Amino acid sequence: MLSKAWSRRMKHSKWFWIRVVLVIAGCSSGLSITSPEIVESSNVNWVACLLIFLFGPLAILFLVGIQAINPYSAKVWCKPSWDINPFLFRQPLQFFHLGAYHFIAGGIVGCLTLFYRDKEAAPLAVSLLSVGVGVWLGVQLCVFIFRKKMRGS
């Protein structure tokens, strides 16, 4: 059973594995952002986390909206997928999709470090989650709002 699941996973494209590596690399930001040096010099608070979270979807909608009318953007977009190159400029949702998971991974690791680090680092760790979840929500809103531009719609 395990070998079937593993062989199915191995059939993913190289872009799946590149995305996995980049998301895992995001975990390092969760470790560094809760370091005592960063906490000491930071002024990120809970209000900033909320503002970051609320700004993310709006910023993504704005940026992708510009791309929707950009004549150099692809006529039809692919829905975000782990198997598509995230660096295709003509497919803007792919990059933001990757970025969302990168920051979510960092935020999760940052929150997990709070078990052995100063609790004053909590807003910094949550700020990474705020970015990631906000961008992820923005991507989901774009898929819905620009659904006529999506392949298969």
- Helix or strand or coil: residue 94? helix
**Is 85 inside a domain boundary?**
yes
**Is 19 inside a domain boundary?**
yes
- Helix or strand or coil: residue 38? helix
pLDDT at res. 11: 73
Q: What tens digit of pLDDT does each residue of 102-140 get?
A: 999 999 999 999 998 888 899 999 999 999 999 999 999
**Is 3 inside a domain boundary?**
no
Q: Model's pTM, two decimal places?
A: 0.88
What residues contact 17, with CB distance under 8 A and at least 6 apart?
none
Count CB atoms within 10 A of the CB of residue 80.
Answer: 22
Q: What tens digit of pLDDT does each residue of 30-63 get?
A: 989 888 888 889 999 999 999 999 999 999 999 9
Q: How many domains does the chain have?
A: 1
Q: What tens digit of pLDDT does each residue of 68-84 get?
A: 999 889 999 999 999 99
CA angle centred on 20, ends 18 and 23, rounded to 5° = 110
Contact between 107 and 126 under an 8 Å Cβ cutoff? The reply is yes
Distance CA 23, CA 30 (A): 11
**Is 131 inside a domain boundary?**
yes
**Is 77 inside a domain boundary?**
yes
pLDDT at res. 4: 61
**Tokens read off for 146:** 């620009």
**Is 101 inside a domain boundary?**
yes
**Is 37 inside a domain boundary?**
yes
Q: Report how far apart, in Å, the C-alpha atoms of 57 and of each of 69, 139, 152 are.
A: 19, 7, 24
Listed residue (146, 20, 17, 29) closest to 92, CA to CA: 146
**Is 69 inside a domain boundary?**
yes
DSSP tag of 48 = H
Distance CA 62, CA 80 (A): 17
Structural domain that includes position 88: 13-149
153 falls in which pLDDT band (50, 70, 90)? Answer: very low
